[in-house]
């Protein structure tokens, strides 16, 4: 029996994802920014790195890619093509996710989107987190020569008013 499908029926906020990992110690760090963009553009859910100590006491990078199960092959193809790795570990995991919606908040500098994360339905719905969209805030900060943190706080204040 596929426990993942069974769990999803009980709780619509449980998802099944693939976690792809590989350690790399012989690749220019400049490649990682490009690799992140390519992987995220093809549908990876998250991409991140961590510093690790590898065999023979060499510093290296642990690359982790979280993706939908149906994107494993394309993500692995990109990782093999763009890096020097010789192998990628796969694991399938369940993850709990919050419901998300995007709303627009009007500010003195213009409209800025916020991501609202919530749990529950109807009267039992609880907002867990509200985050201004980084790119919108960064654009306004540059355009109006304001600190990014000031723009972000202004958005949060406007959302709660």
Instruction: Using a cut of 0.85, tell me whether the model's pTM lies above it.
Output: no
- How many Cβ atoms sit within 10 Å of the Cβ of residue 135? 10
Range of the domain at 49: 3-96
pLDDT of residue 161: 60
Same domain, 50 and 108: no
- Cα–Cα distance between 144 and 15 in angstroms, integer? 40
pLDDT of residue 132: 97
Please provide residue 142's backbone torsions phi and psi, each rounded to the nearest 5 degrees: -65, -45
Same domain, 90 and 121: no
The tally of domains found in the chain comes to 2
- How many Cβ atoms sit within 10 Å of the Cβ of residue 37? 11
In the numeric block, which tokens belong to residue 52?
Answer: 């690790």
Same domain, 57 and 15: yes
* Beta carbons of 151 and 143 less than 8 angstroms apart: no
The alpha carbons of the chain give a radius of gyration, in whole angstroms, of: 20
pLDDT of residue 99: 92
CATH classification of the domain holding 136? 3.10.20.300
For the chain, which ranges sit under pLDDT 50?
1-11
- Cα–Cα distance between 125 and 97 in angstroms, integer? 14
pLDDT of residue 3: 45
DSSP reduced 3-state for 126: strand
pLDDT in tens, 115-131: 999 998 888 889 999 99
Same domain, 119 and 66: no
> Cα–Cα distances in Å, from 153 out to 111, 136, 160?
14, 13, 11
pLDDT in tens, 60-78: 999 999 999 999 999 999 9
pLDDT in tens, 98-108: 999 999 999 99
pLDDT of residue 13: 87
Same domain, 33 and 106: no
């Amino acid at each position: 029996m596929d426990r993942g499908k069974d769990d999803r029926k009980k709780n619509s906020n449980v998802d099944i994802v693939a976690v792809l990992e590989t350690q790399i110690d012989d690749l220019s760090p400049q490649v990682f920014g490009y690799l992140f963009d390519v992987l995220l553009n093809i549908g990876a859910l998250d991409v991140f790195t961590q510093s690790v100590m590898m065999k023979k006491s060499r510093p290296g990078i642990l690359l982790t890619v979280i993706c939908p199960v149906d994107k494993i092959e394309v993500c692995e193809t990109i990782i093999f093509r763009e890096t020097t790795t010789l192998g990628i570990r796969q694991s399938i995991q369940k993850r709990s996710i919050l419901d998300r919606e995007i709303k627009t908040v009007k500010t003195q500098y213009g409209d800025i989107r916020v991501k609202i994360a919530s749990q529950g339905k109807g009267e039992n719905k609880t907002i867990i987190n509200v985050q201004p969209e980084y790119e919108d805030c960064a654009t306004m900060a540059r355009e109006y020569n304001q600190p990014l943190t000031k723009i972000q706080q202004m958005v949060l204040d406007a959302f709660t008013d």
